[in-house]
Structure 1
């Protein structure tokens, strides 16, 4: 008789491979043993989890729902086991970090270098995504921490703000004269706007602030990366909303010009997210300390 956890591990393996025979190979079991385990689990739950056919198996609707939760739980168990292995002086282990492309390039890279120099045997796995995507994979146990755009409203996450950032509007020479001198936000939004796509947390922050001032926007361009915002503005396609701290090179060289506003958009922050109530591994704690070190 298999334990419930063993049954769920077999269930996940079959769900991923959609094959009893492939799951049996992966688990070093016989196919009848895998089939028996699934039948046992279906019997205990009193529900059919898989549709069987000569071509293989597929999850039923009920099976798909169960798979989502069980897979997340098993991932979290594996994370716990991996963290225990890394307790000895950080001589082995892997640190999994979720981070967006822009934050990775302009904020995290020096932190990664400093950590790697101190703990060269710790391997890194970096997963990129939007803030919403990173929070989701953090909850599923796929990463140890996520470095995200704030604000975030999620009681399941512990948030550590690390750096204040400022959302500004920038433009090339074509729009520089039109927006000379301090101008109101209502004047800025009359120009062709270049913004990140709607799912971006920083886009939502700016748009929510503008709406709070009674200003609705309809961007001319919606893009998937901060670097593209800068390049589109450089090409005089419109006025882009960017992060000042991540646009220094363009501003300092005079490639782009910051639009002086009568009322600046309130600053926000970027920081580290972790699961509330779930202890960080020693490696993750050390990395968070480096991230929070403003000297690096």
Structure 2
């Protein structure tokens, strides 16, 4: 069955060529098929669109008026198809990422630099927030992908881990003698602890693991960023729970020391989350391929 759009496409080409036979060649159709298409459109509109002459066809007054609109519409469709091709080829488009401040600094920025160098015409939009906030951004359509602290338990999301990280505790010069030997979790809980805010996925993971060992912790300080937690430890405000991979500069320089725990906290992950119900944009797909090593 020929669609209305197909009929208008034939109508437009006939109008440009002023000939059924030339239009047939341009459309790779037979001349009778072109003639039948125009007749069908005329019946549906109850209007004669072309005057037939031995030398070809010319549009009627009604046909000329309709041609203006149809040609304009067909041009818009072609432009739209070209734009879609541009999105697929990543010559235009937008990459919208949700990410926490710490992961943005230590994980995302170097990767974004490489992505931007390869695809300079892609606009970048970054939304910051906790893991819970990033999931909300995903569900509201504000971002295409979220780079989150794992674990994330949500059946509406695709979760793709790509980096292992380790939670540990660090201290400054003031606590060197006190922490010169390995300690267990019960001893750790008695120290002045510095943790992220309770809404942080990182905080919840550590608390839940210690609770599974029968240890409840009550921090002296609850702070809003990993960098601030590290700085509080540096000035000897207490023992800070940090991500080892994001604190390497302080540990390697000796500014901070890592608490020797008799039992290590199991590693967790950083992953990319996206909605199962929404296909990834071309830019998001390429970002996943290049940066995360994911290939659908």
- State the alpha-carbon separation in 2 of the partners of residues 212 and 120 from structure 1: 48
Does residue 136 (structure 1) correspond to residue 169 (structure 2)? The answer is: no
Q: 1:185 to 1:84 in 2, by over 3 A?
A: farther
* 8 Å Cα contact 1:162/1:291 also seen in 2: no
- Give 1:293 deviation, angstroms: 4.2
Structure 1 residues 109-258: aligned runs within 5 Å: 109-258=109-258
Q: Residue by residue, what CA displacement relative to the aligned partner does 1:111-142 show, whole Å, maximum 9, x if unpaired?
A: 10110011000010000000000000101100
- Give 1:291 deviation, angstroms: 2.3
- Give 1:181 deviation, angstroms: 2.0
- State the alpha-carbon separation in 1 of the partners of residues 289 and 268 from structure 2: 21
Structure 1 residues 8-47: aligned runs within 5 Å: none
Gaps spanning 5+ residues in structure 1: where? Answer: 1-82
Q: Residue by residue, what CA displacement relative to the aligned partner does 1:205-237 show, whole Å, maximum 9, x if unpaired?
A: 000001111101110000000000110000111
Does residue 104 (structure 1) correspond to residue 104 (structure 2)? The answer is: yes
Q: Secondary structure at the match of 2:164?
A: strand
- Give 1:101 deviation, angstroms: 0.2
TM-score computed with the length of structure 2 as normaliser: 0.70
* 8 Å Cα contact 1:85/1:93 also seen in 2: no
- Give 1:86 deviation, angstroms: 5.5
- State the alpha-carbon separation in 1 of the partners of residues 130 and 84 from structure 2: 29
Q: Secondary structure at the match of 1:236?
A: coil
- State the alpha-carbon separation in 1 of the partners of residues 162 and 86 from structure 2: 25
Flag the structure with larger Rg: 2
Question: Superposition RMSD on alpha carbons, in Å?
Answer: 1.5
- Give 1:188 deviation, angstroms: 1.2
- State the alpha-carbon separation in 1 of the partners of residues 138 and 205 from structure 2: 21
- Give 1:193 deviation, angstroms: 0.4
- State the alpha-carbon separation in 2 of the partners of residues 148 and 237 from structure 1: 28
- State the alpha-carbon separation in 2 of the partners of residues 174 and 186 from structure 1: 21
* 8 Å Cα contact 1:86/1:282 also seen in 2: no
TM-score computed with the length of structure 1 as normaliser: 0.70
Q: How many residues align?
A: 212
- Give 1:185 deviation, angstroms: 1.2
Gaps spanning 5+ residues in structure 2: where? Answer: 1-82
- State the alpha-carbon separation in 1 of the partners of residues 250 and 293 from structure 2: 26
Does residue 92 (structure 1) correspond to residue 92 (structure 2)? The answer is: yes
- State the alpha-carbon separation in 1 of the partners of residues 264 and 88 from structure 2: 49
Does residue 259 (structure 1) correspond to residue 241 (structure 2)? The answer is: no
* 8 Å Cα contact 2:88/2:282 also seen in 1: no
Q: 1:282 to 1:246 in 2, by over 3 A?
A: same
Q: 1:86 to 1:257 in 2, by over 3 A?
A: farther
- State the alpha-carbon separation in 2 of the partners of residues 290 and 244 from structure 1: 25
2:32 alignment counterpart: none
